[in-house]
Amino acid sequence: MSRKLFSVVGLVVLVLGVYRSPATAQGKEVVWSTEEKPLADQIHGLRSLADDVRAEATKNLAIKIRQLPMTDNKLRLAVALANLSTEGDFGHATLEEVATTLADTLKQRPLPWPEQHTPADHAQAGSGRQPATPYVELASLVRYEHVAASLDDEQYRAAMARLEADDRKREHAEFNLKDLSGKTWTFSELRGKVVLVNFWATWCPPCRKEMPDLEALYQQFSAQGFVVLGISDEETAKVEPFIRERKITFPILIDPGRKVNDMFVVEGIPKSFVYDRQEKLVAQSIDMRTRKQFLEMLAKAGLQ
């Protein structure tokens, strides 16, 4: 399981790499202490805040969580906050505090390796074991948000190795998908253009929030050979009215069976990947981006 696939309440009860229902974790009801409950409530309300207020609130929450006594709930809070801290541009200092809190919490209470429950899990793991989700969250912050956090732990090292392997798979993209009108788009045929591949869904709040910026950038740069490919694994009947209502003009591709999602190792959305005119992967995001952040990504492909 992964980021953005569950409600914020569900994220608060994430631990040991397994999502439970909002009221339970590991099959038991979550009981918050008087110190923990206000922090859980504040995390649940983060998406309702203006971005500037949310940045400061996120930073303060990270510091307050770090000061809690060590419990399973402390880890739940640290992971939930980390998961939400990348939904936009809340500042490097904020992400540093979030990553420090998660790393310190994992140092205080290291997690056991998760069991591989199904043949598919074993196949994904390959010859190595899959690290627990909190280690992947921390590794993602370090690798993709460029924060400084250290953790001398085998699972953390395995998480970093997994992310490196995922990136290698994305370096040589090739796929064929149809858009809402039935036109087939072949990635290799777009060589010579700057391509932003965006994975999204109608039900995803951060996806909806960044879509107007993607449309504006498409309008701004399309004459310079810029293409946005929005990829959804939902049914056309659900996607088409959503796109029509919002007047989105960049191509929206449908990925039945999630073949391309799996090719890009997309386990949570939104995610975006920018390829330059030589089809080289030059930038990527693990979450929602602002217009400013998207412009920084496109600059790496030569668009100014």
Q: What one-character-per-residue DSSP string does the chain give?
A: --TTSS-HHHHHT-BTTB---TTEETTEE----TTHHHHHHHHHTGGGS-HHHHHHHHHHHHHHHHTSPP-HHHHHHHHHHHHHTTSS---HHHHHHHHHHHHHHHHHSPPPPPP--SHHHHHHHTTSPPPPHHHHHHHHHHHHS--------HHHHHHHHHHHHHHHHHTT---EEEETTS-EEEGGGGTTSEEEEEE--TT-HHHHHHHHHHHHHHHHHGGGTEEEEEEE-S-HHHHHHHHHHHT--S-EEE-GGGHHHHHTT--SS-EEEEE-TTS-EEEEESS---HHHHHHHHHTTT--
Residue 262 pLDDT more than 70?
yes
Same domain (yes/no): 154, 212: no
The whole-number average pLDDT for the span 33-61 is 97
Rounded to the nearest integer, the mean pLDDT of the chain is 90
Kindly state whether residues 146 and 284 are assigned to the same domain: no
Same domain, 32 and 97: yes
On whether residue 23 sits in a domain, the answer given is yes
Is 228 among the domain residues? yes
- Does residue 2 fall inside a structural domain? no
Question: Mean pLDDT, to the nearest integer, of 133-139?
Answer: 97
Residues of the domain holding 79: 8-168
Q: Grade residue 304 by pLDDT with cuts at 50, 70 and 90.
A: confident
Total number of domains in the chain: 2
Question: Do 95 and 151 belong to one domain?
Answer: yes
184 assigned to some structural domain: yes
Do residues 125 and 234 both lie within one domain?
no
Asked whether residue 131 falls in the same domain as residue 32, the answer is yes
Q: What is the pTM of this model?
A: 0.88
123 and 188 assigned to the same domain: no
Residues 184 and 255 grouped into a single domain? yes
Please check whether residues 195 and 150 belong to one and the same domain.
no
The answer to whether position 291 is within a domain reads yes
**Does any domain span residue 1?**
no
Encode pLDDT of 222-233 as tens digits.
999 999 999 999
- Out of 144, 168, 192, a domain closes at 168
Same domain for 130 and 213? Answer: no
How much is the average pLDDT of 29-39?
Answer: 95
| Predicted pLDDT at 128 | 67
- Note whether 51 and 97 are same-domain residues: yes
What pLDDT shows up at residue 118? 47
Single residue among 168, 189, 222 that ends a domain in this structure: 168
**Same structural domain, 159 and 22:** yes
pLDDT (0 to 100) of residue 26: 52
304 lies in a domain?
Answer: no
